[in-house]
Amino acid sequence: TSLAIKRLIGLQPRTARVIRNGKEIDLPVEEIGLDETIRIRPGDRIPVDGVVFEGSSHVDESMLTGEPMPVEKGPGDEVFGGTLNTQGSFLMRATRIGRDTALAHIIELVRQAQASKPPIGRLVDKVAAVFVPVVVAVAVVTFIVWYLYAPEPHLAYAVVTGMTVLVIACPCALGLATPISIMVGVGRAAEHGILIRNGEALQRAGQVNTVVFDKTGTLTEGRPQVTSVWPVATDERHLLRIAAALEAGSEHPLGQAILEHVAAKEGELPGVEGFEALAGSGVRGRIEGRDCLIGNRRLMETEAVALGDAAQRAADLAARGETPMFVACNGQLLGIVSVADRIRKESREAVERLHGLGIEVVMLTGDSRRTAEAVAEEIGIDRVLAEVLPADKRNEVSRLQGEGRVVAMVGDGINDAPALAQADVGIAIGKGTDVAVEAADIALMRSSPQSVADAILLSRATLRNIWQNLFGAFIYNILGIPIAAGVLYPAFGILLNPAVAAAAMSMSSVTVVSNALRLRHARLTVRVSSSN
């Protein structure tokens, strides 16, 4: 049960090469302080979390994230304790040490999850609370019956049969049935970069029949790029400068894409006064004395900006899966800047795997319906909820639950946190924000939607294993207690020896543990239907 934790603990090196007062010295990891400079050489395991500030390399993060390919790291990139430097040498600055590192946090989450009980475990506790006094009563009745009706020495027969009933009915297997499967299942999940917070989340994940994906950063790469610029009442350069100036104060990925595109060509951008972010619509501000906007069609209609032929142009861009953004100043349309976020190459396969599990897949996005439907068609998604404001994502999840669905919500951003908390199972994917991760029941260390299907498969395998254990434990007691009470003695003269009863009780526990350990080798494959 502790194998996964031992493997995680084993990832942390015992020593690290720290630079102090211009000298490189080897120190125990426990003595590393914050902001210390550490040299990482080829083949070294990174001792603590930090940021690279000199040099570059490729780091194998597979034991934390499950990603098989080493990740390129350079100045400004974050590295994590326990990961392996494959080639190259670099200097890093320690930012999180001791219990604050990502590895320590993962180990603690696994420990807490393994110690927690799902609803089925609490049900077993209630059954055990009734089972124990019933068994004691059966043992007392057995003693009395044998004492009154057994042949001489009747007292010996009564004591032996009464004790045999108590021995064979010891509820060890019943008590082990749930926690041992939870421990192994959570440990196996951790090895695949799936962090399950508690047993309840593990059980609910196995019951999910609808998975809702936020589009940006989950089904797409989360790194949008400017794909086309269509000026209307100005030239392309001026259109981009106005768009970039407005987006400079925004944290939206689409806005950052425009900034990065313009930064490579332009110097200083014009200043913006009265900047205002309009949730789900765009941004506005005053530039060079003009009231300017950048956003979607809904914002333009609200501000009474005439679109003319630009409306059809935007529809054509949206049909290709791009997100057109209108730019306007003083009520006049200046043009369109179109941005697209590339779909992850594994997204379609992930959706097909979920379909193979009998799960409906829904995409939730603030994009226009045309853009969302183009993306959904390429991936094979069943249902699209488009043009949803960030504040309404939670309501959409609640509405699906009102239809009788067991909903898992997959997201990575701050605006996904309420929906993650509302869902029956909240799943934070990849390098999501801390807010999203804290609101989720399951955190995926990989940025791949494939891990969603892996988590559900592991949950179902664990639940199936628990039911197998419980079935075996109950069958054992249903058959064993009557035999221990001597029900076979009148017809066949067979009376169970207490030593044999003890061995049978031990074997029932061994059987439960052995069955649970099969989860360590559970297959995470699923038949994919060609119809999907």
b/e per residue 169-197 (b: at least 16 CB within 10 A)? bbbebbbbbbbbbbbbbbbbbbebbbbbb
Q: Are 307 and 411 spatial neighbours (Cβ–Cβ below 8 Å)?
A: no
Length of the chain: 532
214 is catalytic: yes
Catalytic residue among 44, 49, 60, 214: 214
Q: How far is CA 354 from CA 3, 19, 154, 449, 525, in A?
A: 29, 49, 64, 10, 11
User: Helix 119-149 to helix 154-168 angle, to the nearest 10 degrees?
Assistant: 170
Q: Which residues pair with 429 in a beta bridge?
A: 444
CA contacts within 13 A on the Cβ side of 390: 15
- Report which of 218, 295, 302, 301 is spatially closest to residue 255, judged by C-alpha positions: 295
φ, ψ dihedrals at 368, nearest 5°:
-65, 155
Maximum Cα interatomic distance, the chain, rounded to a whole number of Å:
111
Q: What is the DSSP letter of 220?
A: B
- Report which of 436, 1, 370 is spatially closest to residue 183, judged by C-alpha positions: 1
Return all residues near 488 (Cβ < 8 A) that are at least 6 apart.
494, 495
Q: Which residues are catalytic?
A: 214
